[in-house]
Structures are given as structure tokens and as C-alpha cells.
Structure 1
Amino acid sequence: MMKVFIADDESIILEGLKHIIDWPELGFSICGEANNGEDALNNILELNPDLVLLDIRMPKLQGTEIVQLAREHGFKGHFVILSGFSDFKYAQTAIRYGVEFYLTKPIDDEELYRAVNTVKENILKEHMHADTMNQFREKAKYTILRDVLLNTGDVSNINLGEINLSAAVYQVVIYENYNQDTFNLIYDFADLLKVTNQGNNSFEHIKIHEKDIILLKGAFSLSHFRDFLRHYDKSPQKSSPLDSLFIAYGREVGRVEDIHRSYEDALCLMNRRFFCEQNQHAIGYEQLPGFDDRVYEINARETNEYCKLLCSYIQSYNRRKIADTLFALEKNLYYAKTDISNIKLFLTDIYLQIKENINHIYSTVDIPFPTNSWVINLIDGKYYLYEIIFFFSVQFEMIINAIGNFSRESVLDDIVYYINHNYRDNIKLETIAPLFGYNSSYLGKIFNKKVGESFNSYIDHVRINHSKELLLQKNLKVYEISELVGYKNVDYFHKKFKKYLGESPAEFRKRNNAP
């Protein structure tokens, strides 16, 4: 419904104007009234009515002055002037400022009705024109955004301010469901980032090839995005916004012409989701290997080498070497110069060759291998590399047990060995347990019983012991040592060091005369 504002210094006329026309029937609601020029102007600027009925002579400001000042402040609404006398100069001044009707008192009901109805029709035409222009503008903006992201058009002659694309810094984010079997995920990024996006000032949302793409604009929205990622980190709480999302984000760029580079980063990262860790919900351009870094080539020779190594470790019941080999395989594949489908075929070939070799060597043993077709479908259907590595480790443990090694006493020694050589990595019980064929809860219990302390406590001791050695060296700073021994957060390293040694790293270094 359109809004009308009425201003007249005579209360009787003011009341009459409120009832002389059936305003709701014409599609108007009365949004306010005033009996002096100053109040009228202030209310007009605040309420922004579609139509103003305005007496020409009022205390403090006259009608023509109100119209002039309102226009100077950007008011675009319609005016109908009411005057107790007909004066050509007054009418001429009013028309100059866009007043559509100049009616003299006493007001004729039908004349006022015709004037208001004409204004109503003009307002509706303006709305239709504005809607049409907005539609054209949105279509043009979508096309420009698409060209910018795909780098398929020249944007040098486009007025970026007109389509609200002008900013000092940009970053592209692509998001999808964390669970890839679900569909139709809808999130309001303004709510997620805790920013207002009125007029798309903070970001743009567009779909390209069925992918949801966010273009962050300006330092404010990029800062909120970083805060959002830091808050949820790699393990978002259940039912939190990020728990259902997977996000890939490209580099920050300072020019519209470079936005496509950020988009290409994010797209490449989304396609490399296969390499993410368990429960990882975000991947950024920092984790994107450069073109020169992708040096690992998968071929028949590599397939045969891994098959040979793993078969020998299975036959010697060497779980430690199996785990090391699978870890190395996982790291190599991260830098493979090929696509995900070829990596899955490579892994399938390794498994099927191992199966064939073991069946040949132990032809008299009934080993419960899955069928080849089942294995092919399983590996092809996995979303993540870690799932396939886990499948390998479970299968190799099954083979070891089937061919005769029922003693599991040595496995803890293997785990301790693994920790001692991989303490710098983000070692977790739930990720190590599958490599050795254990349930994480059960492994935690037997580890504590065998070693005499918890899994996490043992890792802390290993890291702290190595940090002591590094602190005695002169060329390393404390935060560098923290990262070298596996603590990404230096404050957390300080806390752990003081817990186990009763002093800070700096105090330890000073006490041992190692500046």
C-alpha cells in the first residue's frame, strides 16, 4: 500500500483532508500529518511518503520552501499543493520543483479525487518501470559476475559502482553440503558471517554449473569470514552452521580483473576435496599445491612397487611398515599429476594385485576377500582418500590374521614406533587406530594399560622431550620449535611445556644457558 502525508495549519481542513477521500480504496494509507512547515519537512524526509498533500502557507516554512528543501535532500515523492488563493508565481515555483497539481481552496472533492488518482497511476507506472529496470540490472549484473568469475569478458569499461562491485579486496568462496548424498542446502551467508548484506554490499551469491559461489567484497566481509573459519576450525560442533557445510576458498585479490584467480583456486580445491582429512569442513588456497609441486606420477611401475612392498609387510606381519607405506602412499597421491578418477583406478589396481599375489602364495588358506567387482565399486564410490586407506588397513589386518598371525602383542610397539617418528603431525587416536586395525576406544584402553599413560599424554611427552633438545640450540625461536614438534599454537605449547616441566620454554632455555 502507498503512503500519503498531509500537512495543513488549519486543524479543521487537516481533519477534512483525512476523510474527504476513501484513502484505502485508492491504495493509500495515511502515514503522518503536520500543522507547520518545519515538522512537515522533517516528517517527509523521515517517512518518505509516496504522496504529500501540502498547504502552500504554513508557519515556519511555506509550502514551496518545503518542496524545494525536500527535493534538495533527495525526496522523490509526489506533491499536491493546496492554496487558499490562486497566484501564478506560487504555482510557477511549485511546478518548477515537480509539483503535479496546484489546487485552490475550498477543495473540490472530485477535483482532489482526480488529482490523487492521477498521482496513483503515475506512482504505479514508476514502480513498474523501476521493477523492469531492476530486472534488467540484475540480469546484466549476473552476466557481468559470471564473466568476471570465468574470465570470459572485458570489464574495463564497466562502471563497477553502478552494480555494486567496487571494493578494495575480493575473495571467492564455494560451498556445498558436507554430506555429499544430500541436496538443496540453503544457507544465508549474511547470517553465517554475522554481517548485513543490504544491497549486496558485503557479498554476491551466484550459481555456476550447479555450484554455490560467494564473492566476498571488502575488508570487513573478508575479516568476518576469517573469524567464522577460526571459530569453527576443522572440527565444528554438531548442529553448528559449518557442521553441514563444506567450504573451499581462494586467494584474496585486489582487482576485479583478478577475481577469476580466486575462483579458480576455490574450484580446484573443491575438486580436491578427495584429499581432505576426516571431519575437515573447510579447505583454503594455502593448501593448494602449486603446478610445480605436483610431481608424483602414477604408473604401472608404481603400482607394482607398492604391491611388492605391502605384500612383503603383510607376510612378515609388519604392521608398522604397512602403516608407514600407506602413509607415504597418501602423501604421494596428494601431489599426483592426474585427476581423482585415475587415482582411484591406481588404488584399485594395487589392491587387486595384492589380492591376487596373496591368494597365489596362500592358495590353501581360505581368506575372506571381497569380490573384485565389489572392491571396484567400493573404491570408486568413496568420497575421500582416507576412507580408501582405512579400507586397505582393515583388509591387510584381515589377511594377516587369516594367514596365521594371531598374536597382537607387538602392535603396541609398532604404534609407539609410529608416534616417535610422526609426532610432528596431527596425530590422533581415532586416525591411528584404523591403520593398525583397532577400534579407537579399545586401542586407547590397551595403550594405557601397556604403556602406563594415556595416548595423548604419551604424545605430549615425546613432543616435549624433542622440544627440550631443540631449545638447547641457538638458532630457533620458541614459536618455530612449537611448530617443529607438532604444536601449531605456541600458547598451547607453553601450557603443555609448563605442565610437564614446571617451567616455561624460555625459562628452560635460560637455565640451560642456551640463549
Structure 2
Amino acid sequence: MYKVLLVDDEYMILEGLKYILPWQELGFDIVQTAKSAKEALAYLSQHPIDLLITDITMPEMSGIELVENAQQQGHRFFTIILSGYQEFEYVKKGIALGVKNYLVKPVDKEELKTTLLQIRQELDEQAAWQKQQKIFQETAVLRWVHDEMNEAEFHTLQNQVAQRVTGPFTPLVAQGSFENLQKIQNYFDARRQMLSITSHISENSYLLIYEGSHRQLLLDIHHLEEKLTSTSWQLIIGETVTEWETLYTSYEKIKQIQSLQEFYPDLLPVKNILKVEMSAKEEELPFLSFNKALMIGDMATIRQELDQVFDELLKIQARPEHVRTVSFLLFIDLYRYAPVLTPEDYERIVAKIRKSETILELRRLFDQILEVIKEQPQNKRYSDTIQKVVSIIHKQSGEDLSLKTIAEELHLSVVYLGQLFKKETDLSFNQYLNQVRIKKAQEMLLETQQTINEISEAVGYNNTNYFSKMFKKLNGLTPKEFRDIYEKGYEGI
């Protein structure tokens, strides 16, 4: 039902309009009547409507002034003007304000009905268009958090939302009852946080990419807590990132927290709000930096990042369960980057993390894991099919390579191969291909004197600017910075 507000200073006119037509059969619901423009504006300040039907001549403020004021305050609706006489100046002003029709009193029943049917058709078309736009936007947000979006597509997403989004960005996932998820959605919508996935609310999940500072997000969440009922809800908050390209790494941590909840609930505190950094204070732990250190692949750099994480845990006097949770999240990153580790290694190391009691014990465990990775350079974890794909990628990464061409070569379905590849590597085909290309670029930067342009072309990128962006996205350094820092000393993991 589309919402209608009736405004007239004559009581009998208002009552007559209520019964002149079967409003609900026509798709409309009269949600409010008002005897003055001020009364109508007060209602509009709290409630959206789809159609305003107002008298033109009223005390203090005319119907035209009512529409003008409402539009200036940001309200959008269709309008029908009623008048006791035909006045050209009023008609002209009404046209300028987008008034749908100007009806002379006494209102002709059939003329009003015809106008309402026209408005309903336009409202239906608007609703369908808005629904389609929301689907496009939600699809784009999902592709963004899964690292499947390029720069042009991100700019398209920016243009779809009400305001230009520039960051910082923090992903958060809400889980809970339908009622609480609706409240969470309405709360963030009111704060113009529009980068969300609302279509899964009926499945008890809501995803939001919060735009703004980490501090402001925590303030908003503090106020949000007061509006939610019982304990049938939970928020998992990712790390705040400044560059849209790295958002996926923060979202991955949320998925890892959800995996922990399912398989190792003892590693997590029972709280309504779980922050990925898991610290008692507001300092953020550098999971993003650790991911980049792993991609750089230098043993000293990786150990330095680990030292920073565990030093921070010591500094804030983190509780043992928090330390174990952080350790698990760090290990998941190592496991994904090191296919030499087997499922048996995974279970053994997770068991050690769960039994560990001190920060020092866990820090030493990571040194042991790094040594295991370094001593076993061959992939051991992938199935024969995925190992074949990996071998093709490494041999042909400098060529124009796609999942489709490999699937055809292996006589497999593209969809099946893509799903299997993602399941075993925890990366999409394009993510894996980019990592292989960037690793080869690292080798060439350290072992040759070739220019950035030459290396870019050699590893499979036709566009040097895109190559440099991808290199910095994965390493946190430009190709030149990487060469300058590591050409004098690099110990590969």
C-alpha cells in the first residue's frame, strides 16, 4: 500500500475524501490527515509518504508553500492540489514543483480515480527500478568484499549510492533475530550508511561496509546497543582500512571469526560485539600488515610483524583467550599462504594454540611453523586436479591466461573448476594468478636490472600503472620501494 497524507483546513472535506473512493482497492492507504500545513510538516518530519493531497488555500501557509517547504527538507512524494477555483498562477507554480494534478473542488470522483491510477503506475515503476538498483548495488558490495571488483566497477558503485564514498572502510556483520537486524539496518540507514546487504536479513545476517573513522563507528555502535533487545544479536567488526582495494582482507577475518564460532567456540569470548583485533582497548592489531608481510615473503619482515602483534598483546595485557584467538587468525593466514602445510599440520597446530597458556609460548610456535614451511618447499595440500591448475598458472602466468582456457585444457566445467579452486586454495583464480605474477615480479626486481615497465610486461601485465597498483595492494610497497628495501638482503620463506 502506498501511503497518503490528506491536508485540508475543512473537516468535512477531509472526511469526504476518505470515503470518496475505495483507496485500498486502488493500492493506497490514508495514513494521516492534517488540518494545516504546519501539522502536515510535523508529520512528514517523522514519517515518509508516497502521495500528498492538499488544499491550496489554508491559513498561515498555502498548499504550494507546504510542498515547497517539504521539498526543501528533502521529502519526496507525488502531489495532488485541490482548489475551490482555477487559478493560473497556482497551476504554474504547481507545475514547477512537480505537482501531478490540479483538481477543482468539488472533486470529480472519476478524475481523482484516474489520477490515482496514473500515480500508482509511476510508483510501481519507481519501486521496481529501486529494487533493481538495490540488487545491482548489493551484488557490487558482495563482489567488493570478495575482491572481485576492479577500479572502474568501484567508481560505478560510488555513483550508485547517495553520496561519494571515500573511506575509511570497516566491514561488519550482524547476526541475530529478524527484529534486531531490522533495527540495526534502520539505525545505519538513518546515518546514511548505504553500503549494505539487506536481502539476507530474513536469513538472520546483515552485512555493512561502514564508511567513517573507527572511533565514530564505535560511538555509533555504543548508541546502537541501547536500541537492541535481549541477547539475540551479535556484531563482528573487521579492521578499518583506508584503501578500498584492501577491504577484502578485513572481511576475510570476519569469516574466520565465524568459522571459529562454528568449530572452535572455546577460542572466542561470549560477547554481543566481537572486534577482530580482540584487544581490551581500541588499538588495532595489524592483520592487514601481516598479510602483506606474508606476500612480501621475507622471513625477517614476517617475524617483525609477528613481534609487533605479540608485543601489542603484552602491552595491553590481553587475556589468554584473546591471545589464542589472535594466534588462530594469524595462523589461518599462514596456512592459506603455505600449501606445504597439510590438514594434519593444521589440526596439530590448532591443538597447540588451544593448549597454550602464555604469549611467549605462542610466539615461539610461530617460529616453529615458519621453519616447517621453509624446510618443505613443495605443495602437499592440493588435489591432483588443482595441482595441475597451479602448475599451469606458474608455467604460463606471463601469458593471457584464464580459468576458461585451463578448464577447456583439463576437459572440466569452468564453474566446477572455479568452485573447486576456491575451496582448496581459499582464493579465486584471479587472486591466485595475481599473486603468482607479483611473486615473479619480486624475483625479477631482486635478481635483474630490468625496468618496472619491462618486468610488468614480462609477468603478464600490459598496463604498468595497473601492475604497480596491484603490486602495492598485495605488498604494501611500490615495486621501486620493494627493490630499494630488499635488494641488499632478502630471505625467502
Q: Which of the pair has more CA radius of gyration?
A: 1
Normalising by structure 1, what TM-score?
0.44
Q: Highest relative contact order (Cα 8 Å, sep 6+), 1 or 2?
A: 2
